[in-house]
Amino acid sequence: MKNPDYVDSVGYPCCGPEDCERIPDHYVRDMGQEIHVLPTGQVFRKDGRGAYPSRDTSWWWCKRRKWPSFISQPASCIFYPFNGQ
C-alpha cells in the first residue's frame, strides 16, 4: 500500500513497498532549499510536495514508471538525509 503521508508534486501517493531505493550521494546536488536529481534532471524543493526528510542519513527516491521523454526513470519523491548532505 502507498503511504498517504508522502505525496508527489501533484498530490498522488508516491511510496509503496516496491517503489523506493537508496541512491548514492553523487546522484543529487543539495542546493539549500532545492534538491537537483542529476540522473533525471529534476528539481525538488524541500518545502514542497515530493521532498521529505529521510528516516536515516541516506538519500532515497521513489520512482515512477518510465516516461518517453526521460532517459532515466523519473523520481516521484526524494528523501533527503537529516545531516544535510
Q: What is the 3-state secondary structure (H, E, C) of the chain?
A: CCCCCCECCCCCECCCCCCEEEECHHHEEEECCEEEECCCCEEEECCCCCEEECCCCCEEEEECCCCCCCCCCCEEEEEECCCCC
Q: Would you list the domain boundaries of the chain?
A: 20-80
User: What was the pLDDT predicted at 85?
Assistant: 43
Whether the predicted model's global pTM rises above the 0.95 cut: no
Residue type, 37: V
pLDDT tens, position by position, 38-83: 998 999 999 888 999 988 899 999 876 655 665 566 888 999 996 5
- The predicted structure's pLDDT at residue 44: 95
Separation CA 81–CA 54 (nearest Å): 5
pLDDT of residue 84: 45
